[in-house]
Copies of this chain bind each other. A is one copy, B any other.
Amino acid sequence: MKLKSIKLNVENATANVIINHGEVNILSNELILELQHVISELNKDAQVKIVIFRSMNEHFFSAHLDLNLINHEKEGITGMNNFMKLIEDIKNMRAITFAIVNGIARGGGNEFVMACDIAYGTENAVFAQPELNTNIPPGGQGTVQAALRLGRSRALEFLLTGADMDAPTAERFGYITRYVPSHSIEQTLQQVITPLTFLDQRNIDMIKEIIDLAIHDEKAAIQLERKMFIERAEEEKTQYLIGKVIKHGAQTSREIHIEELLADVVADITQDMIKQQKNN
C-alpha cells in the first residue's frame, strides 16, 4: 500500500508514524485504512519495540472521525466499524505505543491517543470528547477511557460538557501519562525510550499481561507475578545479568548512581556480544 497521509520512519527499535492528512487530520476511512496497514506491518516487524504516533499538522493531532461516516449508509457503517477496529488494533499492538499530542485531539482523535500505551501532551494540546453536540456518544472507547482514568465525577463533567482539557490538567487528573512542554518532548522521549530498546519483547508482553490482569483481578495478578518471578529467576540469562550488575557494583553504595552502574553493564554486555560474534 502506498502511504499518502502517513510518513513512516523506522530506525532500530523505534518507528515514527507521522500523520499528515488534510486540514485537520480528520480520521477519514482512507486514513483509517492506512493506519491499519501501518499497524499491521509494524506488528510483523520483530525489531520494532517502540511506536511513536505524531502529527505534522500545526494545530491538530486529529480533529475527530470523519463526520460523513456517521450515518446508516453502507459506507458509513463500514467506516465506523473500521474506526472501532482501529482503536482495538492500536490497543493490541505488540510494541509500546506513544502518542505525542502537540495540538488538538478531539473525538476519535482523542480516542486514538487514549488507545496508546503512553500519552504525552504539550502546552499546545487539548483533549476533548465533544460527541454529545451531535447526539452521539464517543464510539472509540472514549466514554470508557474517561470513566477509568478520570473517575465517575470528572468523567461526567468532561463528557457531558464536551469541553477541552489542557495537558497540565489532564496530567493532574491522570487522564494522560504526562504533561511535557513541547521544547522538552524529544529529550523526554529519548530518556524514556533508551531503556525500552534493551527490553526483550517477551518481557514487555509479560509486564503488559500482569498490569492488565491486575486492574481487573488483583489476586490473580499477584499469583501471575509470583509465577513469572520464580520462572524468570531460573533462567540462564537472569544469572548472566545478575552476575554483570553485581560485577559493576550492585548491592553496594554504587547503586546511589544506578544510571552509571547500568551504563557500565550495557557496555560490558556489548563487549561480550562482540566477542561472541567474533568467535562464531
* Chain A residues engaging chain B, CB cutoff 8 angstroms: 23-24, 26, 59-60, 63, 66-68, 70-72, 76-77, 80, 84, 96, 104, 106, 117-119, 128, 130, 132-139, 141-144, 146-149, 151-157, 159-164, 172-174, 176-178, 191-192, 195-196, 199-200, 203-204, 206-208, 210-212, 214-216, 218, 221-222, 225-226, 228-230, 232-235, 237-239, 241-242, 245-246, 250-253, 255-256, 258, 262, 265
What separation, in Å, do the CA atoms of A201 and B273 have in the docked complex? 59
What separation, in Å, do the CA atoms of A76 and B235 have in the docked complex? 13
Does the CB pair A59–B232 fall under 8 Å? no
Does the CB pair A234–B26 fall under 8 Å? no
Residues of chain B within 8 A of A130, CB atoms compared: 258, 262
Task: Name 20 interchain pairs, CB-CB below 8 A, sorted by A.
Answer: A63-B251, A70-B233, A70-B238, A72-B233, A80-B230, A104-B256, A106-B255, A118-B153, A128-B258, A135-B203, A135-B235, A135-B238, A136-B229, A137-B210, A137-B225, A139-B226, A143-B214, A147-B212, A160-B195, A160-B204
- Given contacts A218-B216, A225-B143, is CB(A156)–CB(B96) below 8 Å? yes
What separation, in Å, do the CA atoms of A252 and B195 have in the docked complex? 40
Q: How far is the CB of A152 from chain B (nearest CB, A)?
A: 6
- Name the residue in A137, A161, A230 with the highest tally of chain B Cβ atoms < 10 Å from its Cβ: A137
* CB contact between A153 and one of B80, B119, B233, B242 (< 8 Å): that residue: B119
Does the CB pair B229–A139 fall under 8 Å? yes
Residues of chain B within 8 A of A199, CB atoms compared: 132, 160
* CB contact between A106 and one of B63, B233, B258 (< 8 Å): that residue: B258
Does the CB pair B230–A141 fall under 8 Å? no
Residues of chain B within 8 A of A157, CB atoms compared: 118, 177-178, 192
Q: How far is the CB of A188 from chain B (nearest CB, A)?
A: 11
What separation, in Å, do the CA atoms of A119 and B156 have in the docked complex? 11
Residues of chain B within 8 A of A234, CB atoms compared: 71-72
What separation, in Å, do the CA atoms of A25 and B192 have in the docked complex? 28
Residues of chain B within 8 A of A232, CB atoms compared: 135-137
Does the CB pair B214–A147 fall under 8 Å? yes
* CB contact between A215 and one of B60, B147, B210, B221 (< 8 Å): that residue: B147
* CB contact between A164 and one of B117, B176, B235, B258 (< 8 Å): that residue: B258
